Amino acid sequence: MTLPLPHPALTAVDPELAALVGEEELLQAGTLRMIPSENYVSRAVLEASGTVLQNKYSEGYAGRRYYEGQQVIDQVERLAVARAKALFGVEHANVQPYSGSPANLAVYLAFAEPGDTVMGMALPMGGHLTHGWGVSATGKWFRGVQYGVRHDTGLIDFDEVRDLALKERPKLIFCGGTALPRTIDFAAFAEIAREAGAVLVADVAHIAGLIAGGAHPSPVPHADVISTTTHKTLRGPRGAMLMSREEYAKPIDKAVFPGLQGGPHNQTTAGIAVALHEAAQPSFRDYAHAVVANARALADALLERGFDLVSGGTDNHLILIDLTSKDVPGKVAAKALDRAGIVVNYNTVPYDPRKPFDPSGVRIGTPSLTSRGLGMEHMAQVAEWIDRGVAAGRSGDEASLSRIRDEVAALMSKHPAPGLPA
Ligand SMILES: *Cc1c(COP(=O)(O)O)cnc(C)c1O
């Protein structure tokens, strides 16, 4: 099969849109995708999430629906739930949240009242918007208090977290984030949450696949609630899950439906079921460990080239580069790397002196390139491209960027992406 993939019905009905899908396929096939929250889903996941399950309304839960005709859908959702419970070792799983942000909002609805105090990591320190940050509904309708990382180490300061929790007595404490390159100490958070009388929510959106594959410690049994997206390291369709012990099953289910959502996206539930099946295979353990090994090798190669990494390196899939010492703003570097066929995002670094829309860092990760079979032996080359690309971005050397783009495309053509045969 060659790219772009055939989409005969779409091409016949809407050639304009079909052409755009084809362009995106070529882009995803020919570039080095290093945004740590992105990945490639398998062809099986793509097929499952593009089915006639789309056509069905299923408000409620399996066996307790508000619409008839659920003979098949109930089985699909039960399968997804059973697989989530088995994979993560939890008593309860809800697979209906539309995405990570609504999943987190459901947690607020389940355990807090508007105006209550909630606690999470500050967005510029690596937390997520939905952990009580001001511009988010979670920061507008709740009173968000925020912890960070230490200036000197880039690591979470648990004395600060404990002091803040005992002083503020939040209803919810979120741990996890979007730009954290280090292992999350769920046990330490759980102890603080217990002391403060708070519900501990582990938001493992980024690292769910690493946890499933045994490459990051599990929040089970430390966290009261586990929130995760399904489309990052877990390699499923865009969606989310909430997991917990049985004691929290009722409030969580009620918060998702009817509290926050209407009908679940059944085609997504099917895709999640397939992704969970794939994540339960031994090969997925290899994948998760390879993601981390690649990130470590890449971090070492970047350090050798004089890059400053927040916290000095990585334990997981993610690396946060502080470009201050390279004298180039994160946005300039990210846009230059994009022209060089290396897709990253600009990102704040802790205590960033620059503005969030023009910060000092770039955030990179290894989930996608590992899905394409790149290994530790390729990471010196990737670091060299990043180094050259950042330098070329600073000096405005477009010829150098397009040379890198060709080199990247040549390597990528030898490593077909899942879902996108070369
Ligand atoms: C990605 C992410 C989310 C939000 O997921 P969306 O699907 O983009 O709404 C929530 N929390 C964390 C920690 C994330 O990384």
- Domain with 340 in it: what CATH number? 3.90.1150.10
Looking at the fold, whether 85 and 154 belong to one and the same domain comes out as yes
Q: 206 CA distance to ligand 1 centroid (A)? A: 8
Looking at the fold, whether 275 and 295 belong to one and the same domain comes out as no
Looking at the fold, whether 210 and 303 belong to one and the same domain comes out as no
99 within ligand 1 shell (Cβ under 6 A): yes
Looking at the fold, whether 294 and 210 belong to one and the same domain comes out as no
pLDDT of 5: 83
178 within ligand 1 shell (Cβ under 6 A): yes
pLDDT of the chain along its 422 residues, tens only? 467 788 999 999 999 999 999 999 999 999 999 999 999 999 999 999 999 999 999 999 999 999 999 999 999 999 999 999 999 999 999 999 999 999 999 999 999 999 999 999 999 999 999 999 999 999 999 999 999 999 999 999 999 999 999 999 999 999 999 999 999 999 999 999 999 999 999 999 999 999 999 999 999 999 999 999 999 999 999 999 999 999 999 999 999 999 999 999 999 999 999 999 999 999 999 999 999 999 999 999 999 999 999 999 999 999 999 999 999 999 999 999 999 999 999 999 999 999 989 999 999 999 999 999 999 999 999 999 999 999 999 999 999 999 999 999 999 999 999 988 65
203 within ligand 1 shell (Cβ under 6 A): yes
The answer to whether residue 8 is domain-embedded is no
Looking at the fold, whether 222 and 314 belong to one and the same domain comes out as no
Looking at the fold, whether 185 and 55 belong to one and the same domain comes out as yes
345 within ligand 1 shell (Cβ under 6 A): no
In the chain, the number of structural domains is 2
Looking at the fold, whether 224 and 322 belong to one and the same domain comes out as no
pLDDT of 3: 76
Q: 82 CA distance to ligand 1 centroid (A)? A: 23
The answer to whether residue 185 is domain-embedded is yes
SS3 for the chain, per residue? CCCCCCCHHHHHHCHHHHHHHHHHHHHHHHCEECCCCCCCCCHHHHHHCCCHHHHCCCCEECCEECCCCCCCHHHHHHHHHHHHHHHHCCCEEECCCCCHHHHHHHHHHHHCCCCCEEEEECHHHCCCHHHCCCCCHHHHCCEEEEECECCCCCCECHHHHHHHHHHHCCCEEEECCCCCCCCCCHHHHHHHHHHHCCEEEEECCCCHHHHHCCCCCCCCCCCCEEEEECCCCCCCCCCEEEEECHHHHHHHHHHHHHHHCCCCCHHHHHHHHHHHHHHCCHHHHHHHHHHHHHHHHHHHHHHHCCCEEHHHCCCCCEEEEECHHHCCCHHHHHHHHHHCCEECEEECCCCCCCCCCCCCEEEEECHHHHHCCCCHHHHHHHHHHHHHHHHHHHHCCHHHHHHHHHHHHHHHHCCCECCECC
Looking at the fold, whether 130 and 254 belong to one and the same domain comes out as yes
Looking at the fold, whether 350 and 405 belong to one and the same domain comes out as yes
The answer to whether residue 210 is domain-embedded is yes
Catalytic residues: 57, 59, 203, 229, 232, 238
Choose one of 173, 174, 178 to mutate for the ligand 1 pocket test, by most ligand atoms within 8 angstroms of C-beta: 178
Q: 106 CA distance to ligand 1 centroid (A)? A: 13
Q: What is the CATH number of the domain that holds 250?
A: 3.40.640.10
The answer to whether residue 16 is domain-embedded is no
Looking at the fold, whether 385 and 345 belong to one and the same domain comes out as yes
The answer to whether residue 65 is domain-embedded is yes
Looking at the fold, whether 248 and 362 belong to one and the same domain comes out as no
The answer to whether residue 106 is domain-embedded is yes
233 within ligand 1 shell (Cβ under 6 A): no
Q: Which numbered atom of ligand 1 lies nearest the CA of 99?
A: 7
Looking at the fold, whether 326 and 184 belong to one and the same domain comes out as no
Segments forming the whole domain that contains residue 331: 290-413
pLDDT of 152: 93
206 within ligand 1 shell (Cβ under 6 A): yes
